[in-house]
Amino acid sequence: MHLLVLNGPNLNLLGTREPAIYGHETLADVEAACMATAAKLGVSITFAQSNHEGALVDALHEARGKSAGVVLNAGAYTHTSVALRDAIGATSLPVIELHLSNTHARESFRHVSLIAPVCVGVIQGFGTAGYPLALQALHGHLSR
């Protein structure tokens, strides 16, 4: 089983961008935790990040036929991107929406997710620990 872990805008700045909200761990730390979790689950993963909406759409399209599912931290595109929502729907892949912070405890514009209705679930508010949780949830969903 192969899974894609896809990260959106500004996540390349983890560890330095607003650490009071997003923590001190870097994206490299997150990738290492994901690789360790994938090894425990017996799955392979591809880890990718882009600040560009179209590149995220392309990554979702390319996952068709390669990945069994996707963990997606779309960052701010969660609240604005109809293109990502449509790409998730078009791939028919199970997607877990992931956020480091609890978006409902933040500004009101972050309370609405355009992608949640086309995802199998949402994990948020657990910081970088959410990534292993999301991988476990996706693996469990696919193993049923």
128 near 105, Cβ under 8 Å?
Answer: no
Q: In what order do the strands lie in the sheet with 44-49?
A: 44-49, 2-7, 69-73, 95-99, 121-124
Q: Is 77 a residue of the active site?
A: no
Other beta carbons within 10 angstroms of residue 100's beta carbon come to: 23
> Which residue in the list 22, 77, 131, 139 is annotated as catalytic?
22
d(CA 91, CA 131): 21
> Which residue in the list 2, 77, 79, 99 is annotated as catalytic?
99
Q: Is 99 a residue of the active site?
A: yes
d(CA 75, CA 80): 10
Q: Which residues are catalytic?
A: 22, 99
